[in-house]
Structure 1
Amino acid sequence: GKSNRKITPKLAAIKDLTCVGIPTAEDPTESIYRFEETVLIPGGINLPKVISCVSQRGRVYKQLVKSQDDLRQDALVMQVFRLCSTLFQPKVNVRVYKVVCLTKTAGVLQWIDNTVPIGDFLTGASDEVFGAHYRYHPDDLLHGQARATMNEVAKADLRKKLSTYRSICRSFSPCFRHFFTENFSCPTEVYVKRIKYTESVAATSMMGYIIGLGDRHNSNILIDQRSAEVIQIDIGLAFDEGKLLPVPELVPFRLTRDMVDGMGCTGVEGLFRSTCELILERLRDSRKMVNTVVETLLHDPLAKWSVDYHRIFKKSRDEMQEKCTNGSRSLDAERASMKVNQKLQGNVANETLSCKAHANVLIREATSEINLCQMFSGWSAWV
């Protein structure tokens, strides 16, 4: 859970650094004046810290400081996201944030205020704090029970997984629509925010598909409590690495029942589908620009993006070194670039699809019960 601590004396002693800019500030002229004493620990395996930096102009910039975590691939993917976001203006606004790598295992990220992970809203931040599912459907199956049930059939055959998944879905009702009624009181505002939400889910889903973004569980997608736009975080698993996990990810993006429930009565039809088609069309029209940026970043010797075989397969260090000496990193770059280019051209199963057909295939794959029932139980495909 979240807790508060005090900053170290060394950090507290830093004052009035007029020549040192604030790395996560959008304004490059902002410089550091001091750091606030309180440090927030939001939780997580490596215990990241949220520190507040006060600028010379009196503005407060919150920063998420991470250690024992390689953010180089996060920074790479965010650069691609930032480029793509300019292609969608003014129709769709894609939320991006700054990622600054300090070392191979440490970095600073821009903290996004007024946001909450969709998992915290839906199922609660912990076992002691219940979310909207329990508040609105107290007689339904609990989220922890559903996860335990799916975990029990993790090694079963497809038929057993599918029947178990369907049984859980019958006892676990979607309720993400209540996010809008809880945060916005005016019916007109609810309608406008739902449009913003639907467009942002469509845009980030298509961008995530193109870049091969994985690990889209409930805690890695934030929703802004003021604008209702979604923000993708923890974006280090990219270029289809998710397909190489011990439990392969079979869906192109997260489009579970609760994600669809927030879109209103039309669901994936109407605005969501048309926005997906629009995003694919704009990406396809600008594929030369996107490919150029992706290829440049993939071949950057300072970037860490290539498939992390040691993490995924738990290979030995000697095997990892052998792969590096054999030039596998360069080969991985070529393969990743080729996959991105194929997606931008609409090549699926050796066929070139129109934007409408391409969007239809992706939506069908993302909502397929057969795909969802085979996802890792921690991904919470029923939510």
Structure 2
Amino acid sequence: ARSDERILQLFRMMNQMFEKHKESRRRHICIHTPIIIPVWSQVRMVEDDLMYSTFLEVYENHCSRNDREADLPITYFKEQLNQAISGQISPEAVVDLRLQAYNEITKNLVNDNIFSQYMYKTLPSGNHTWAFKKQFAIQLALSSFMSYMLQIGGRSPNKILFAKNTGKIFQTDFHPAYDANGLIEFNEPVPFRLTRNMQAFFSHGVEGLIVSSMCAAAQAVASPKVRIYRTNT
């Protein structure tokens, strides 16, 4: 719970930086910071909204609608890597085997339009879809930027919540992991989460709004003219 409090304090300070920087202020860049009340060391109450959903719920909804097991991609991937676990193939061939299994899963089990279909059926009109995409792209850019800057991994679909009416994003367990020496432990090859479904939903927004928002956020944080002063309230 203390880690969540410190992360939210950091986010609020960074929102002040975004407010003081011209490019981030022009794009209305602001990290969503819900209210969190710690109860005791391992328990906290988080501000909730009925419109919040996770990417895991979107995927499970798709599997339920198509009468398919949600764990089928994981089961298939493990079955394909049984040869690597038993030592039947060389370590060099494991990478090719993993890539082949991934391609089969994306081709036959998990389409790249699952999230798009869900949102198009949820949002009532084209105006709502445009507003949602814009806000969701900014929030995803900030989330990716923070994941890269703080070296935060483990961004599984059940840990990413988004508001279906506003596009705001909130991530649970969003804090760095430390090893026995007190150093940040980060072993993931990709520093943030940008999946095929997200890219298909945004189409050209990845190279447009997401990239520009990430650059504006980085400029605001690195700008030598921005100073945050601690004030007592």
Aligning the two structures, in what range does the TM-score lie when normalised by the shorter sequence?
0.7 to 0.9
Find 1:192's aligned residue among 124, 131, 153: 131
Find 1:117's aligned residue among 31, 54, 70: 54
The answer on 1:100 being equivalent to 2:37 is yes
Structure ID, larger Rg: 1
Gap change, CA 1:233 and 1:166, over 3 Å in 2? same
Structure 1: runs of 5 or more not aligned: 1-70, 125-130, 294-383
The residue number in structure 2 matching 1:149 is: 76
Find 1:268's aligned residue among 200, 206, 211: 206
Find the aligned partners of 1:83 and 1:169 in 2 and give their Cα distance.
Answer: 40
The residue number in structure 2 matching 1:284 is: 222
State how many pairs are aligned. Answer: 207
Residue 223 (structure 1) shift: 0.9
Residue 99 (structure 1) shift: 2.8
Find 1:160's aligned residue among 97, 102, 105: 97
Compare the two structures and name the one with the higher helix fraction. Answer: 2
Find the aligned partners of 1:81 and 1:251 in 2 and give their Cα distance.
Answer: 22
The answer on 1:77 being equivalent to 2:14 is no
Gap change, CA 1:154 and 1:274, over 3 Å in 2? farther
Residue 289 (structure 1) shift: 5.0
Residue 88 (structure 1) shift: 2.8
Gap change, CA 1:77 and 1:151, over 3 Å in 2? farther
Gap change, CA 1:79 and 1:159, over 3 Å in 2? same
The answer on 1:86 being equivalent to 2:13 is no
| Greater RCO structure (CA 8 Å; 6+ sep) | 2
Whether the aligned pair in 2 keeps the contact of 1:201 and 1:230 (CA below 8 Å) is yes
Compare the two structures and name the one with the higher strand fraction. Answer: 1
Gap change, CA 1:147 and 1:93, over 3 Å in 2? same
Gap change, CA 1:184 and 1:105, over 3 Å in 2? closer
Amino acid at match of 2:96: R
SS of residue in 2 equivalent to 1:169:
helix
C-alpha offsets along residues 92-127 of structure 1, whole Å, 9 cap, x if unaligned?
232112333343333333334420112101x22xxx
Find the aligned partners of 2:132 and 2:62 in 1 and give their Cα distance.
Answer: 19
TM, length-normalised to structure 2: 0.76
Residue 287 (structure 1) shift: 9.4
Q: CA RMSD in A?
A: 2.8
Percent identity, please: 19
Amino acid at match of 2:156: H
Gap change, CA 1:119 and 1:200, over 3 Å in 2? same
Amino acid at match of 2:76: T
Gap change, CA 1:113 and 1:143, over 3 Å in 2? closer
Whether the aligned pair in 2 keeps the contact of 1:133 and 1:173 (CA below 8 Å) is no
